[in-house]
Amino acid sequence: MTEPPLPRITLLLPSLAAGGVGRSMLHLAEAFRAAGHPVDLVLCCAEGPYLSEVPAGVQIVALRRQSGLSARLQLARLDPGGITAMARPALLAWRPAPVQPYLADLAHYLDRVRPAALVAAKTPTNLLALWARRLSGVETRVVVSERTQLSQSISMNRKWRWRHIAPLVARTYSWADEIAAVSDGVADDLAAVTGLPRDSITTVYNPVVTPELAALAAEAAPHPWLEEGGGPVIVAAGRLVPQKNFPLLLRAFARLRQQRPARLLIFGEGPKRSELEALAGSLGIGNDLALPGFVANPYAAFARAALFVLSSEYEGLPNVLIEAMACGCPVVSMDCPSGPLEILQGGRWGELVPPNDSEALFAAMLRTLDAPLPRDTLRARGGEFSLENSARHYLELLFPN
């Protein structure tokens, strides 16, 4: 007798833009598909550099956009008791969240396909998933996943809707079957900001280390500096945006260059490129800095670099820090909220530096270059954040029985 098919799982994202969230969700899609589940990847915008990396057998569903006014009217009817919480961030905001106009088509998808379970990622998309389930009336089990500290998103975001989002998150997340957070720090912060019970939030680490990582790390280096001599090469990676605080890294690197030869590669793209190039020139390190842009395989760089540095002002669980360690690269990180403290276990696996202290960052970089941890030790620690462990934990939340 033929076995009945396993239940369908839907993964919901705004897009497959560069960054750790898209890569993590693709890893989960691959693991769920390998376990035998039909998997749909539902995108508000079917775009981004990871679109070509969607695993075979995973169905891509691109949502259609409706008018902003129609979406607001649907939201108002959806939860009459929540009008106060919904008003400023969703109904009256001059520019509501970019995912909001996809509500009707997501509800239509849920009603038509009726997946057994859905995983959403990032605050606006989490809200969208829960609204769409209520609008469609289906019984799809929804797990929302918080990826960064909500308090930091609120304080760093200038948009009016973010300043009033906490009550809406508190009310809407209470409809979720499970709330996941990528680190204990993110979970603690979400509970503190929203008043949600801390025991209603489960920490599930990202699926960072995959079976393919070692092979990718052995591929050709993405920049010639990694194949040449001329002193150690330090790497960083992330969007060129204020959150990543790359100016601090440049200042620390400039101090390091006064002590010894070194070069710095920052992989990623973003609106602050020209400012970083100008700062490098003013610091006299322009010839020792390269900004190669986004690369699909940073692991080949991590495996060859002398040091990886995370300079962020805040994170959720910085995948890139784990990826560097899993490739055997020594690391130094800002002790920012949140994630680095958990990943490095208080400094056991790499130095933690007080936030916004370029002198302390310089000193930690110098010490680590002089006395790095063994690469095999770092690989073993990074391997604890495996796709296998994360996928198993998510499946337990999606199908608790």
Distance, in Å, from the CA atom of 282 to the CA atom of 49, rounded to the nearest integer, reads: 32
Give the distance from CA 201 to its chain's centroid. 18
Distance, in Å, from the CA atom of 153 to the CA atom of 243, rounded to the nearest integer, reads: 10
The pTM of this model reads 0.88
**Short-list 150, 141, 95, CA closest to 123:** 150
String of b and e for 325-356 (b: at least 16 CB within 10 Å)?
bbbbbbbbbbbbbbbbbbbbeeeebbbbbebe
pLDDT of residue 303: 97
| CATH label, 9-207+386-398, candidates 3.40.50.2000, 3.30.450.20, 1.10.1040.10, 3.40.50.20 | 3.40.50.2000
Contacts (Cβ under 8 Å, ≥6 apart) of 169: 123, 127, 150, 190, 193, 194
SS3 annotation, 289-306:
EEEEECCCCCHHHHCCCC
Distance, in Å, from the CA atom of 330 to the CA atom of 302, rounded to the nearest integer, reads: 9
**What are the domain boundaries of the chain?**
9-207+386-398, 213-382
Going through 156-299 in order, the beta strands assigned E by DSSP cover 178-181, 201-203, 233-237, 263-267, 289-293
Please indicate whether the domains covering 9-207+386-398 and 213-382 agree at the CATH topology level: yes
**C-beta of residue 52 within 8 angstroms of C-beta of residue 22:** no
Domain spanning 213-382: which superfamily? Glycogen Phosphorylase B; (3.40.50.2000)
| pLDDT tens digits, one per residue of 84-140 | 888 888 777 667 778 899 999 999 999 999 999 999 999 999 999 999 999 999 999
| pLDDT tens digits, one per residue of 77-100 | 888 888 888 888 877 766 777 889
Mean pLDDT taken over the chain: 93
**C-beta of residue 154 within 8 angstroms of C-beta of residue 162:** yes
Token look-up 């959403």 returns 120
Provide the pLDDT confidence category of residue 346 given band limits of 50, 70 and 90: very high
| pLDDT tens digits, one per residue of 363-385 | 999 999 999 999 999 999 999 99
pLDDT of residue 163: 80
Distance, in Å, from the CA atom of 95 to the CA atom of 77, rounded to the nearest integer, reads: 20
Element (H, E) at 127: helix 123-136
pLDDT higher than 70, residue 218: yes
pLDDT of residue 160: 63
Share of the chain above pLDDT 70, in %: 98
